[in-house]
Chain A
Amino acid sequence: MKKRIFSLLAAALMLLPTLALLGGCGGKQADVILKVYSWAEYIDEGGEGSYLYDVEEVQDAPPILDDFEAWYEETYHESVRVDYATFGTNEDMYNEIVLGNEYDLLCPSDYMIMKLAAEDRIVPYDASFFDEADPNNYYVRNVSPYIKSVFENGTVTVTQNGEQAAHKWSEYAAGYMWGTTGFVYNPEHVERADLEELGWQTFISDKYTNRITAKDNVRDTYFAALGLTYEKELLALDRTSADYNKTLTAIFNRTAEEYTDAVGKTLLDMKKNIYGFETDTGKADMVSGKIWLNYAWSGDAVYALDEAEEKNDVLLEYFVPAAGSNLWFDGWVLTKGVEERGTKKAAQAFVNYMSMPASAMRNSYYIGYTSVVAGENDDMLNYTDYLYGVEDEEDETEENFYDLSWFFGDDNGEPVGIYADEEQRTSRQLFAQFPPEDVISRCAVMNYFDADTSERINELWSHVKAESLDPWTIIVIICAVIFIVALILFLQFRDKLGFVLRKRK
């Protein structure tokens, strides 16, 4: 009995902190509660690994959300509490939204932003958000001119009350992180020249059989298969033409039935050659040397490059096929009802806070992705220089100059950029974070699939992923199963019959 009392006491003691925690949560009063729904590990969470901890030597680096709450109260004289929830895939997030979960601010990817806008699930930003005169409008003041133009030029057809109208992406979304897709490779086993020659064909090259991975999601791998299928056509495009990027984007958005058959065949060829499909084991497998090539998002590529260098002393590199690749971005969008809930102001302030150069550095440093923020002065450029620039002043030669004007905007006609060594400029983290303009001009945003297309392409994907037996084999196996079932039933039945007979005797 004594023992039991003791264990009860122990259990009660263990429960205490939990209760205190619950009480603590409820106790913190705030004027506004802002519900943010974003990717897991996509924001500075403080502690070791934070920019503040590493660079500014703040030993107890706070999470950026705490700093936002303090800043908001100071600036707008209103307290805010951020309820920050995370998701793993765009589809998970979409399902949550459709099921009616109320969030104020979301951070989906490009195509999901378009889908949400088209379905009238998100609302545009206020006009005041784009007022450059307001010093607190960090987003509009700091966003890169390049990202700005991408958002201005992209359109989405929005259905509102049965009426369709074209809207700019910039009305609905404020960028957060962006990047390209390409191959992380191990130069010990893979030669750059070889990759340049193969391009997307790397996926089906027998040199890399069982040494290359594709993404375990339909969109990214479908995109790669498009590149592979239409590589010749893509390479033959006139790069000087004004419509070059438009044509390229159209090819990378081929989803009509006439194209999907060919792409489906390509996908099957890819499957035969690759090591596997992965969602996040690729980074670790690259670092540990299981595979030589990993099809990856640029942010993950930076992470893999950093990890391999720190842990295994291996210098991995990043490559984008010459035929063109994917330009992707994640952006903040305001959900419908944000006005009614009275959280729109706080939500927009949140986006602005995240777009301060200081915040952008912190987030970018923490997660390894490239922020859309270019900054008003040289903050972001200096940060990039601090991370990837040459250390000796002697090396600041014309040859080592890496032009980043396309992203940061030129300085009254003078090119803007940093001095970096050749590896950084052509294949390492700097290249992955900020590819040269030449690479960027070859990148295309992939649109969302409408309901019918989505269904068709998902069917295609399931046919690629699963094995297909021929119909006769299936029929034979099903017959065999039915036979076995019948046999077992018969045996059970006979057993009972025998029992009954015995009883009668």
Chain B
Amino acid sequence: MKIPRFSRKTLCIPYAVFLLFFVIAPMLVILVYAFTDRNMGFSFGNFVKFFSDPTKLSTIVYSIVIALITTVVCLLIAYPVAYILAHSKMKKKHVILMLFVMPMWINFVLRVNAIRELFNWIGLLGQANYFNTVFGMVYDFLPFMILPLYTTLMKIDPSLYEASYDLGGNAFTAFTRITLPLSVPGIASGVTMVFLPSMTNYVVSDMLGNSMVTIIGKFIYEYFGSDWHMGSMVALVLLIVVFISTFLTGGFKSEENVRGANL
């Protein structure tokens, strides 16, 4: 009996099949639906309708703005936390890191519900829908920002700081010339992981914004209840936005440190 020979190429087959059926095929289906009408005839109707409707464009703008604010707030909170954790000489810093990550272990819907009750108790629920939505997103996605930042900051060679101080640098220059540039891959990966989901996570906007805040994800969901073609067009536009933002944050670069920073 001949033993079948496995090469590295053979090992790729399962993933290639997965890629084909669950990544490439659905995208093609979206593409087909986006450019067809109800009778499956080719049409630019949805394209024209999308870009001539201020509401749809506004929703894209709102989603991007909400996602941007979420990302910036996450970054502002996460960076100092990751920095302190990476530089502290505490023995138990893993415990603190775990405390930040732990909410991820609890079901997300449950957590959003808890926040909802909390906001109701404070009196914000139903009063500040946009604030609540952004708060919920920040709360939800913060760990995704902290982790890659922490990993990249941990990797910075301490001798670089020693060199900086030897050459007369102070703490500030050490930060701006060493820490910040070297943590860019972590920032980029954190930004990607927060920015993209917060454009579509409509559970947060529904629960905390009482469905008064409509983001692009909700839009897609609603269209898929009645009109798959328009829904696909919205999804396609979102895909393009995602593509551009990934390109800008350097997600397509194959540098070792970037990949290492991605979870």
Contacts and interface: CB of A to CB of B under 8 A. Distances in A.
Contacts of B214: 462, 465-467
Contacts, number: 85
Interface in B218-251: 218-219, 222-227, 244, 248
B59 interface: yes
B131 interface: no
Given A290-B125, A451-B38, A462-B219, A469 B225 contact: no
B164 interface: no
A466 B55 contact: yes
B120 interface: yes
Contacts of B209: 276
A89 interface: yes
Contacts of B227: 454-455, 458
B211 A474 contact: no
* Contact size range, A: 35 or more
A415 B93 CA distance: 77
A497 interface: no
Contacts of A461: 222
A210 B226 CA distance: 29
A271 B126 CA distance: 12
* Contact size range, B: 20 to 34
A241 interface: no
A463 B61 contact: no
A281 interface: yes
B54 A474 contact: yes
Nearest to B213: A467
Interface string A86-111: 00010110010000000000000000
Given A451-B38, A458-B226, A466-B219, A210 B211 contact: no
B61 A477 contact: yes
A488 interface: yes
Contacts of B206: 216
A89 B226 CA distance: 11
Contact of A277 (B38, B54, B127, B210): B210
Interface string B136-177: 000000000000000000000000000000000000000000
A399 interface: no
A489 B247 CA distance: 10
Given A275-B126, A277-B211, A470 B54 contact: yes
Contact of A465 (B38, B53, B64, B222): B222
Given A275-B126, A290-B120, A488 B248 contact: yes
Interface string B189-223: 00000000000000000110111101000110011
B226 A275 contact: no
B77 interface: no
Interface string A254-283: 000000000000000001000111100100
Given A463-B55, A467-B214, 4 more contacts: A276-B129, A277-B210, A465-B218, A471-B54
Interface of B: 38, 53-59, 61-62, 64, 120, 125-127, 129, 206-207, 209-212, 214, 218-219, 222-227, 244, 248
20 contacts: A92-B225, A95-B224, A276-B210, A277-B210, A290-B120, A290-B126, A462-B214, A462-B219, A462-B223, A466-B55, A466-B58, A466-B219, A467-B214, A468-B54, A469-B61, A474-B58, A474-B61, A477-B61, A478-B61, A489-B248
